[in-house]
Structure 1
Amino acid sequence: MQALLSLSRAIDRLNTLVGKYAIWLIFGATVISAVNAVIRKAFNYSSNGFLEVQWYLFAWSFLIAAGFTLLKREHVRIDVLNSHFPKKVQMAIEIFGLLFFLTPVCLMVLYYSTPMALQMYSSGEMSNNPGGLIRWPVWAALPLGFTLLLLQGWSELIKCIAFLKGLGPDPTVKPDEKTDEQALIEALRAQAGDPTATAQNKN
């Protein structure tokens, strides 16, 4: 189990690193959009290449950051019922979802997108739009992004099993999220006039 936990930590570090730098793709798309707007207004010139590189960067940003988003538990979740179940039932639901929903979907996307990306690369297919870009770089984001998401799903699976075995913390709690007990204690301290609780609530 310790070897699997080491693998989980390595996957977490990988997706943390990717997520840290994915924001620069959004920044690049924003800069290109602004420059394109200025050039179009000032010189009455534009190109489909400017437009396509923007959505290339946007596609890369959200695809490769999908694993990081799962790590931080920022994906949309409907926990109306799940949150009322005992923790072991919640873990069972989490494991079931990772095994029978996330893993098959990722594998299916990889099965279909990887050959397509390789074909695009070998053929050098270009955009049909005048002044458009080569296609394979944006297609390559699909297998890469879903590989990172699949790995993070397996990392979460390892952490769920470790929690059930008493070998790790609860992986369903966000790293910066306070438990109900912690929130209650801080609220009681704040009512009692404890300055440390006030400072913690501000943070």
Structure 2
Amino acid sequence: MQNVLATVANIINRINAALGKVVSYATIAMAIVMFGIVVLRYGFSLGWIAMQESVMYLHAAVFLLGSAFTYQQNAHVRVDVFYRQYSKRKQAMVNLLGSLVFMLPVSLYIGIICFDYVIDSWSLLEGSREPGGLPFVYVLKSFLLIFAISMVLQAISEIITNTLRLLGHISFSEDENALNAKQQEHI
């Protein structure tokens, strides 16, 4: 059973890592488009609403679609005043409780409350309210659902991983890469 759970956690981690890698390119694209906007506006007195909105879409993609990867890499914002001094076992307990009590319920709630919002947008194929804007507001709003789903999945992965650590099935010194390599041997 522990191998199945570890495999599930590994698959979730791979999905979110791939999503994080894809989204990292949006950061580069966002910088290039923003540079283009500035050059066109101040150098040639040209501007397009669609180009400006594309920066907003890319920004939303970076933050909403990259959040689960950030959480996976333990790079999210937290108050480390006490946490960093805890033993690895106590850190795993904090991570497990944080995932169970905060991350999973909040992510589920976000997914539930934004579902109708996104579906309504898709049913209208909602576009920009601005003349010349992008006609893909429904795609932008879909990032909310992808965010919620990826965060729920990553919370499940964290719950599995930290539970296995606390039960002694994964050593505390094992990092995620070692866990992934170990799971590949079992597959």
Q: Mark yes or no: TM-score above 0.5.
A: yes
Counterpart check, 1:59 vs 2:88: no
Q: Deviations over 1:91-145 (max 9, x none)?
A: 3322111111001110111011122111111112222223222311110111102
Q: Distance in 1 between matches of 2:11 and 2:86?
A: 31
Match of 1:159 among 158, 161, 164: 161
- Tell me, yes or no, if the aligned pair for 1:67 and 1:145 is still in contact at 8 Å: yes
Gaps of 5+ in 2: 178-187
Counterpart check, 1:7 vs 2:8: yes
Letter in 2 for 1:137: V
- Aligned twin of 1:150: 152
Q: Distance in 1 between matches of 2:173 and 2:73?
A: 10
- Tell me, yes or no, if the aligned pair for 2:23 and 2:66 is still in contact at 8 Å: yes
Letter in 1 for 2:147: G
Q: Percent identity?
A: 26
TM-score, with length taken from structure 1: 0.78
- Tell me, yes or no, if the aligned pair for 1:163 and 1:171 is still in contact at 8 Å: no
- Aligned twin of 1:37: 38
- Aligned twin of 1:16: 17
- Tell me, yes or no, if the aligned pair for 1:73 and 1:174 is still in contact at 8 Å: no
Which structure 2 residues correspond to residues 63-82 of structure 1 after superposition, within 5 A? 63-82=64-83
1 or 2 for the larger relative contact order (CA 8 Å, sep ≥6)? 2
- Tell me, yes or no, if the aligned pair for 1:160 and 1:170 is still in contact at 8 Å: no
Letter in 2 for 1:11: I
Give the SS at the match of 2:75: coil
Q: What is the CA-CA distance between 1:8 and the residue it aligns to?
A: 0.4
Q: Distance in 1 between matches of 2:162 and 2:173?
A: 6
Aligned residues between the structures? 175
Letter in 1 for 2:76: H
- Aligned twin of 1:27: 28
Q: Deviations over 1:155-181 (max 9, x none)?
A: 111111111121113389787xxxxxx
Q: What is the CA-CA distance between 1:154 and the residue it aligns to?
A: 1.0
Letter in 1 for 2:163: I
